[in-house]
Amino acid sequence: MKIQRPFFIGVVHLKPLPGSPRYAGSMNAVVDAAAADARALATGGVDAVVVENFGDVPFTAGRVAAETVAAMAVAGAAVREQLAATRSGIPHGFNVLRNDVISGLGLCAAANGAFVRVNVHTGAMVTDQGLIQGGAFETLRLRRTLAPDALIFADVHVKHASPLGGAETLEDAARDCHHRGLADALIVSGTGTGAATPLEDVRRVRAACPDANILIGSGSTDQSAAELLTFADGLIVGTWLKVDGVLANPIDPERVARLRSIMDQAGAGEAS
């Protein structure tokens, strides 16, 4: 999979999975909702889809349970089938929250995933799950043997977290993640889910890593997309694409198409 500007990744927020506190008891309902969101994203024109166990709060700082991985594999297969049926050639990937990139790579190997998102790839962050430390050493070696074609999209100063000690600059974190962690793309986000990503933060990361692929990880809307794409290569969008922009609602294909058009216009203007 190649990241070509302006790259549009839509998010499938899975409903609570088996074992999580809010699981409603029906995997069929989980799969049906995921397939419907995937169909809406493909219809609207995304370039890729990321599948997240978003409904599984509270998250663990380490490896997720076996039933979570199994459920994500089932949902991921449904997403892949729906993408192929709606518009062929759309890749999908996994974000196993909070930071289980090992399971993410396993899912890529088992369910033909093209990429993983990892919240903490290098460094250490203080989060609502406690301290999370990056494992780039293990991740890159496992990818080589398990899913060599899967790209690693890594957050820089991830949302819902603060760098340990507070002294590490955004620029230093970006350089370490890109040059020493060998991430295939850097993700810059706001403070939380759906929170706007500050344009100045994106500019700073671009200045620190001019040759990196940079993705926006939260808060992109039809109003902010064009400006963000002056420094970023693409957007990862979940909340704003929902009906009325409400997180709990399903994906609205008309919102997806609207954002796709705005992104394409921004890319065309840049090219000219």
The answer to the question of residue 33 being in a domain is: yes
The CATH number of residue 216's host domain is: 3.20.20.70
What pLDDT, on a 0 to 100 scale, did the predictor assign at position 14? Answer: 98
The answer to the question of residue 199 being in a domain is: yes
155-185 per-position pLDDT tens digit: 999 989 998 877 689 999 999 999 999 999 9
- Please tell me the total count of domains within the chain: 1
* Neighbour tally for 221: CB within 10 Å: 18
Backbone angles phi, psi at 234, to 5 degrees: -170, 175
The answer to the question of residue 240 being in a domain is: yes
Pick from 126, 72, 135, 50: nearest CA to 101? 135
The answer to the question of residue 144 being in a domain is: yes
CA–CA separation, 11 vs 127, rounded Å?
Answer: 22
Q: Token pair of 154, please? A: 């890594």
pTM: 0.95
The answer to the question of residue 1 being in a domain is: no
In the chain, what percentage of residues exceed pLDDT 90? 90
Tell me the residue type at 94.
Answer: F
Domain that holds residue 70: 7-271
3-48 per-position pLDDT tens digit: 999 999 999 999 999 999 999 999 999 999 999 999 999 999 999 9
The answer to the question of residue 156 being in a domain is: yes
The 3-class SS string of 137-160 reads: HHHHHHHHHHCCCCEEEEECCCCC
- Does a cis peptide bond (omega within 30 degrees of 0) precede residue 141? no
120-156 per-position pLDDT tens digit: 999 999 999 999 999 999 999 999 999 999 999 999 9
Q: Which helix (H) or strand (E) holds 115?
A: strand 115-118
* Neighbour tally for 198: CB within 10 Å: 16
CA–CA separation, 6 vs 75, rounded Å?
Answer: 27
Q: Token pair of 238, please? A: 């979940």
206-221 per-position pLDDT tens digit: 999 999 999 999 999 9
Tell me the residue type at 257.
Answer: A
The answer to the question of residue 132 being in a domain is: yes
